[in-house]
Amino acid sequence: MGIGDVNGLKSGMVFKGKFGTYKLLNKIGGGGNGTVFSVQVISAEKQLPEGEKFVIKVLTASHYSNEEREKREKRFEKEIQTVYRIQNEIAGIVPIYDSSYFLTEGRGDFSWYVMPEALKYNFKSIRSIEEKLNDMRMLGECIAQLHKRGFVHRDIKHQNLLVYKNRVCLADFGLVWNMNEEEEHITDIHDSMGPAAIRPPELRNIEIVDKVDYRKSDVYLFAKTVWIVLTGVKRGFPEEYRRFDNSVYLSKKKLGVETAEPLHEMLELATRHWWWERIDMSACIQHIDEQLSIITKESDDIALGKWKYTETVKEICDAVLPDVRTYQGETSVLAVLERMAGAVNLAFEEAGKVYESMPLKGAKLLPENLFELEVRNNYYRNKRKMVVKIDSISINEDLSCKMNINIITNPPNHLPVFTKLTEALQSVDKQICISGRYIARLM
């Protein structure tokens, strides 16, 4: 048994399996790894359900190198074993009923498996956003159950969605991975895997095969598949979900909803560049549930108001540039000062009078939310340190920048404390503390 030549597959060929005998009819699909034919069941055991039509997927990758063909055959066998193992435990998986791998002898020249005939998920024909989201919720539940049992799919895309027994199902488990078992590595370093158009960063150039939580890769692919289904744009979008990109942003008007904020948040959190920063499948499902409750009017007024407010404010932040940017937290203030050190001068201002500027050489955060500013005296070329309490740093539209300095309620005991700015600036002490309401300009 192995990988036969696709040109050797002809209508009328017969494949004998463990549970039935099948005759090839029409070719109905195919890709780089396999070809799918409709089949006529010539004979069957009770394992094949009655009243269904069946198709056969035959591994046809003979045009690849020997090494690549071996990889593809291993993945094909792994797909069959995994699906057959879990198909009765997890809803939303197209089952496998027979395969060449179930035979102990007489397997023939081709590797294959038989599954029920299912339809491609034609999401473009569905106009209802509610129906699409319900479909995606069922898909999400299927993936969550896979993850719960220690399996990851790694090839979630709209092309792998089929409709079977009136629900959307996940197909093509060729890249499936069992996280709970020691497995032979089929994927090599520097290989890539998954759908190229929406592939997460960790699947583009594999660096560490078994140190990645591939459940988060599934999350990334699921979120982008949801976006494709909702928008109808099959190419998807690259990298992270960005609100400011109008070609990517989900418009609530186009979707016909009061707010799409739950979907915005899901897409942002699920498509983070680093896999460890992404949410899990249960959080994705929760966001979809929130969006569905808005659509079905089941969301209460408080929750709806919160979603609408958040969406509106974030839209404003992306669309309208502020006249003034303000940094208030001690971490933000320190980050600004550290970046400006060595590039700006510091000049105190009081009652409209601007004092002589001093080059800012460094900044350090002290206890009690105080900042130590290291400046240089232009006249004596010596350095001095000023301890101040900074409430905020503001950068105006014209790029002028100022610090708001406040009174220190608990000044350090070992430093001279100045409440008058003129005395502080005239002091010859190498380290001083300035306590008062002043403005200091960064020039």
pLDDT at 212 over 90: no
pTM of the model: 0.77
**Rounded CA gap, 348 and 343, in Å?**
17
pLDDT in tens, 225-256: 999 999 999 999 989 999 989 999 999 999 99
The DSSP letter of residue 278 is S
Q: Which two tokens stand for residue 12?
A: 């009328």
Among candidates 290, 281, 340, 336, which has minimal Cα distance to 310? 290
Closest residue by Cα to residue 400 from 430, 435, 441, 366: 441
Q: How many CB atoms lie within 10 A of CB 294?
A: 22
The partner residues of 109 in beta bridges, in order of sequence, read: none
Tokens of 387: 């301890």
Q: What is the pLDDT of residues 21-72, one digit of tens each?
A: 999 999 988 766 778 999 999 988 877 888 889 999 998 866 667 777 788 8
Q: Do residues 431 and 385 make contact, with C-beta atoms less than 8 angstroms apart?
A: yes
Q: DSSP character for 271?
A: S
CB–CB of 399/380 below 8 Å?
Answer: no
Closest C-alpha to 372, from 337, 400, 414:
337
- pLDDT tens for 90-140 read 999 999 999 999 998 867 778 899 999 999 999 999 999 999 999 999 999
pLDDT at 189: 45
Q: Give the three-state DSSP class for 406.
A: strand
